[in-house]
Structure 1
Amino acid sequence: MNMRKKILATLAATLLAIGVSLAVTATPASAHEGGIHIGLVQFNSPGSDSGSNTSLNAEWINIHNARSTPYQIKGWYIKDNAGYKFLFPTYTIGAGKNVKVHTGKGSNGGGHVYWGRSWYVWNNTGDKARLYTPSGNFDDSCSWDDDDGSQKSCH
């Protein structure tokens, strides 16, 4: 047994001896059921990365409302590993519906909002999308690497 394991075993035995119990629980995959979460990320737009608005808009992240009522997502935000940040405008996601956040430019509405960037956000070889509430509380994340193809299903 290595030194770290010995220390942890001794600590656990000591805590149990004095009547302290440690509860370890895993967060189930369904933790976001009934809430707002990342559903799918298209991190590698089809074809070559030409930088055209069409190509940029083929890179997107899908945010899902698993609630039974519509939800106003204004002020929520998404960040990647490099710190690029998308702040949601006034937008209501219908109950059980999705909104796609496209990287490029376009008109918001009908299940689509646009970041307005002129270059890609999500790295094809690996990145992590993080979703935060307006108060800055972490809500959800989705990560991928170059073995995941061009799209990652997160829940």
Structure 2
Amino acid sequence: MRAVMRVGIGAVAAGLTAVVLTASPGAAATPAVHFAGIQYNAPGTDTSRNVNGEYVKISNSGSRAVSVKGWSVRDAAGHKFTFPTYTIKAHDSLWLHSGKGTHTHRTFYWGSGWHIWNNTGDTATLRDSHGKYHDSCRWTKSTSSGWKAC
């Protein structure tokens, strides 16, 4: 949906700003691909054996399938995962694990030998193949479950 801002002349003259948002006719809504949650603290003590206990869940709450080929997930330190060819169906999700594994239907692996997400605080950022920001998820301290709903 495209927003259009209109400011009334009288409001400007009076030093006030009025904003009216309207939808442009025929403008298509952007699909709602977003972080649903992050398991940033794998169960147990962090070792190279439980890296895949960390994962990101990305959902498409839109009514259309969306190709995420070339989309990326980054942490605050700049670690980056780029999705291969994949399409998230409408009202479906995918999972991105921090460790190593073979990509399967709806499950992807970052390929790291160590944990990506900081338990004490971090920010995950989702961008499309053109670098356009789509979503982020941030936490500032560890919870007992190590899960952050986004």
> What range describes the TM-score normalised by the shorter chain of this pair?
0.7 to 0.9
Determine the C-alpha separation between the residues in 1 that align with 2:12 and 2:90: 50
What is residue 153 of structure 1 aligned with on the other side?
Answer: 149
Higher relative helix content:
1
**Structure 1 segments (4+ residues) deviating >6 Å:** none
Higher strand share: 2
How far apart are the structure 2 equivalents of 1:93 and 1:99?
7
Query: Percent identity, aligned pairs only?
Result: 38
Q: How big is the shift at 1:111?
A: 1.5
- What is the root-mean-square deviation of aligned Cα atoms in Å? 2.3
How far does residue 108 in structure 1 lie from its aligned partner after superposition?
Answer: 1.0
Contact 2:33-2:61 within 8 A present in 1 as well: yes
What is the distance in 2 between the residues matched to 1:90 and 1:70?
13
How many aligned residue pairs are there? 132
Q: Does 1:41 align with 2:38?
A: yes
Provide the secondary structure at the position in 1 that maps to 2:37: strand
Compute the displacement of 1:95 (Å): 1.5
Given residue 65 of structure 2, which amino acid in structure 1 is its aligned partner? Answer: P
Equivalent pair of 2:119/2:142 in contact (CA under 8 Å): no
List per-residue Cα deviations over 1:17-71 (Å, max 9, x = no partner): 624515499xxxxxx994100001000000010111xx11110111101122222
Deviation at 1:148, TM superposition (A): 3.4
Whether contact under 8 Å (1:132, 1:140) holds in the other structure is yes
> What residue is the counterpart of 1:65 in the other structure?
60
Q: What's the CA shift string for 1:84-141, capped at 9, x where partnerless? A: 0110111111211110000011111222001101111100000000000111111100
CA contact (8 A) 2:31 2:64 kept: no
Which of 113, 118, 131 is the matching residue for 1:118? 113
TM-score where L is the length of structure 2? 0.79
- Unaligned runs of 5+ residues in structure 2 are 1-10, 22-28
Matches within 5 A, 1:1-155: 18-19=13-14, 21=17, 23=19, 34-52=31-49, 55-149=50-144, 150-154=146-150
- Structure 2 CA distance for aligned equivalents of residues 120 and 24 of structure 1: 46
**SS of equivalent residue, structure 2 residue 51:** helix
Q: What residue ranges of structure 1 are gaps of 5+ in the alignment?
A: 1-15, 26-31
